[in-house]
């Protein structure tokens, strides 16, 4: 499913997704266990726009507060650098700490959120509802004043013939992440595997990168142009190949309640 992706949470940012049996064997060699995310790709209905989505989201948040939905985080993504294949206006991304918790929120919404669903349906038509399994390679730093906005980019990637994710790709991504960190990058990085709702994907995995703002993303662009591309070529040539990045502005809509230690 080429047209979609990502997720985040509170001060840092957590990208997640539901895990299926097809990727679990390699994920255990990658990094932390996968976490679940649901993703809707939507278009505005005629006469509707961002202000209408804001109003529908406010009603949903009030409903979620009443229902005690404390382990669900939501963001919306809008296109910034994109191509004609991104045929949606907005992506809704929802994430919970576990797939069981996400499923519980979905059950509650299906059983008790009819009025809220009707409010969203008046504003949006969603042609895709998908689920990804995401593994974190690096979290971005927490900010003292966490913004409701962040910049996300992602690429579709394929593993080279004869290579595997766990033995070849994951080590290359780790080495690349360490190199970029040494060069001063604070960007977060995740890998996402398709789990539910797609079918016929033309990629093996997605690489997701999160920046605090466009200036930080631009600084990484400069570093890559100044010589980072040589390191990338060294690490990934013959291991995997990726297409160009799509970039999205992400706006937080709801934050899960952080558990006290």
Averaged pLDDT of the chain:
85
For the segment 65-74, the average pLDDT, to the nearest whole number, is: 93
In a domain, 153, yes or no: yes
Q: Within 13 Å, how many C-alpha atoms sit on residue 132's CB side?
A: 30
> Does 259 reside within a domain?
no
| Residue 260 placed within a domain | no
pTM: 0.81
The helix or strand, by DSSP H or E, that contains position 91, with its residue range, turns out to be strand 90-95
Cα(2)–Cα(69) distance, integer angstroms: 30
Specify if 55 maps to a domain: yes
The helix-helix angle for 50-67 and 114-123 (nearest 10°) equals: 170
Structural domain span for residue 125? 21-254
65, part of any domain: yes
* Residue 143 banded pLDDT, cuts 50, 70, 90: low
Across 18-36, b (16+ Cβ under 10 Å) vs e yields bbeeebeebbeebbeebbb
Domain of 111, CATH number, reads 3.30.70.100
Residue 141 lies in a domain: yes
> Could you tell me if residue 6 is inside a domain?
no
**C-alpha–C-alpha distance, residues 153 and 34, integer Å:** 19
Work out the burial of residue 50: count CB atoms within 10 Å of its CB; fewer than 13 is exposed, 13-18 middle, 19 or more buried.
middle
Q: What is the mean pLDDT of residues 223-234?
A: 95
How many structural domains comprise the chain? Answer: 1
Give 234-259 pLDDT, tens digit per residue.
Answer: 999 999 999 999 999 999 999 888 65
66 lies in some domain: yes
CA distances from 106 to 9, 94, 95, 109 (A): 18, 10, 11, 5
At residue 79, what are phi and psi to the nearest 5 degrees? -70, 140
* Closest residue by Cα to residue 147 from 8, 259, 39: 8
> Per mean pLDDT, which range of 8-17, 143-152, 224-233 is the poorest?
8-17
């Amino acid at each position: 499913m080429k047209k979609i992706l990502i997720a985040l949470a509170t001060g840092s940012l957590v990208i997640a997704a539901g895990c299926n049996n097809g990727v679990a064997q390699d994920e255990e060699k990658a990094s932390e266990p996968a976490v679940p995310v649901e993703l809707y790709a939507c278009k505005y209905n005629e006469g509707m726009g961002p202000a209408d989505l804001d109003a529908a989201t406010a009603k949903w948040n009030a409903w979620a507060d009443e229902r005690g939905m404390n382990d669900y985080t939501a963001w919306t993504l809008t296109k910034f650098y994109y191509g004609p294949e991104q045929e949606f206006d907005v992506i809704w991304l929802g994430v919970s700490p576990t797939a069981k918790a996400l499923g519980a929120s979905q059950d509650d919404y299906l059983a008790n959120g009819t009025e809220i669903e009707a409010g969203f349906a008046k504003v949006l038509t969603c042609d895709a509802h998908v689920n990804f399994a995401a593994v974190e390679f690096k979290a971005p730093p927490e900010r003292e004043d966490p913004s409701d906005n962040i910049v996300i980019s992602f690429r579709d990637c394929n593993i080279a013939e004869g290579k595997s994710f766990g033995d070849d790709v994951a080590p290359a991504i780790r080495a690349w992440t360490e190199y970029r960190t040494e060069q001063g990058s604070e960007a977060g990085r995740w890998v996402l595997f398709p789990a539910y709702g797609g079918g016929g994907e033309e990629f093996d995995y997605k690489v997701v990168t999160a920046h605090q703002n466009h200036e930080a993303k631009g600084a990484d662009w400069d570093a890559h142009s100044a010589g980072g591309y040589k390191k990338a070529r060294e690490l990934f040539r013959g291991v995997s190949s990726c297409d160009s990045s799509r970039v999205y502005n992400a706006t937080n809509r709801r934050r899960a309640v952080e558990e006290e230690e």
